């Protein structure tokens, strides 16, 4: 199929990003075990932040190489500004990439709309609760399936079931720990992070551990919020574990897919979360991670040198990409 110069440039960008991102995603999948071991040497909060940022590395690298290498190389060396034949495989890959992005955009739009409706319903039908030392609004709602959580992105608020507030067997201290857990999510902007990961086009590959990078981040975010809520107090950790079990048993229906960090996690991850509360993990000093910073600096320097050589030695890569098939 013949395409004009601007459309060929668009195809080059799409094919380059698709091929590179899949390559980097596979490399991250192969290196998942050593990466996770290195991440586990950090504090829980740093683990959560590093795992969140790791999601963006394949996309950012593919975008950087495309924008800094292949596109300038093609623009500088292309002499035919008329229509030119483009390979069928190139067109298929470009079409699949744009379809992938479109599906992601639609899914994010649906989730954002559900979140907006869910938030409005909670605020409209719920009762605001004033709490001491709380910068995050709290709303009591009549929800049987979901007992507590943090919902919303721009103006997140904590919602909690009225039946939970009316339950006299539920200790005020336990309620305070639940709220502290959700406030930790709010301080770390976990709902914004969750929505941004929904937006990011990526392969949800299952790692050798059996979980995806997304699941690893979500679990770590919950553990970090638990740690912030208990403040290293053994009695608070035990009470939080007991509260999780009680509320997990009270969950009677599937949770709506909205931008929300629910207090009770998935059943498959609940046992590990409770085990971590019952058996406290060693706490690491929150000092600067010089080894990780040095490793990143060396990797960046090596990548810069390699890319500069690749750009000069493989100047025909853009043409090869365009004529695949």
State the pLDDT at residue 286: 45
Tell me the torsion sign for CA atoms 12, 18, 21, 23.
negative
Q: How many CA atoms lie within 13 A of 208 on its CB side?
A: 11
The predicted-structure confidence for 114-137, as pLDDT tens digits, reads as follows 899 988 888 888 888 876 556 888
Q: How far apart are CA 275 and CA 316, in angstroms?
A: 55
Q: What is the mean pLDDT of residues 51-60?
A: 93
Q: What is the mean pLDDT of the chain?
A: 83
Would you say residue 79 has pLDDT above 60?
yes
Q: pLDDT confidence of 289, banded at 50, 70, 90?
A: low
State the pLDDT at residue 177: 92
Would you say residue 81 has pLDDT above 50?
yes
Tell me the torsion sign for CA atoms 201, 214, 189, 251.
positive
Q: What is the mean pLDDT of residues 77-90?
A: 82
150 and 186 Cβ atoms separated by less than 8 Å? yes
Would you say residue 91 has pLDDT above 70?
yes
Q: pLDDT confidence of 309, banded at 50, 70, 90?
A: low
């Amino acid at each position: 199929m013949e395409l004009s110069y601007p459309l060929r440039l668009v195809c080059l960008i799409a094919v380059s990003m698709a091929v590179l991102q899949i390559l980097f995603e596979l490399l991250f999948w192969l290196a998942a075990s050593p990466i996770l071991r290195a991440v586990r040497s950090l504090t829980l909060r740093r683990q959560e932040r590093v795992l969140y940022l790791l999601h963006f590395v394949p996309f950012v690298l593919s975008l950087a190489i495309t924008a800094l290498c292949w596109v300038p190389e093609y623009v500088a060396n292309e002499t035919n500004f008329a229509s030119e034949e483009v390979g069928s495989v190139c067109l298929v890959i470009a079409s699949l990439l744009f379809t992938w992005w479109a599906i992601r955009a639609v899914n994010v739009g649906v989730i954002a709309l559900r979140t907006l409706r869910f938030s409005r319903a909670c605020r409209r039908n719920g009762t605001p609760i004033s709490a001491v030392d709380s910068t995050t609004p709290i709303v009591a709602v009549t929800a049987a399936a979901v007992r507590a959580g943090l919902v919303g992105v721009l103006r997140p608020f904590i919602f909690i079931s009225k039946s939970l507030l009316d339950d006299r067997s539920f200790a005020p201290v336990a309620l305070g720990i639940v709220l502290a857990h959700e406030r930790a999510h709010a301080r770390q902007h976990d709902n914004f992070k969750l929505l941004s990961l929904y937006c990011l086009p990526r392969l949800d590959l299952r790692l050798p551990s059996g979980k995806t990078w997304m699941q690893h981040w979500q679990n770590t975010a919950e553990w970090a919020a638990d740690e912030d809520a208990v403040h290293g107090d053994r009695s608070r950790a035990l009470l939080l574990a007991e509260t999780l079990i009680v509320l997990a048993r009270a969950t009677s229906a599937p949770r709506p897919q909205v931008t929300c960090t629910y207090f009770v996690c998935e059943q498959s991850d609940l046992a590990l979360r409770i085990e971590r509360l019952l058996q406290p993990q060693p706490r690491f000093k929150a000092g600067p991670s010089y080894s990780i910073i040095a490793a990143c600096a060396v990797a960046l320097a090596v990548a810069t040198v390699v890319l500069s050589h690749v750009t000069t030695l493989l100047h025909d890569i853009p043409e090869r990409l365009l004529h695949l098939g």
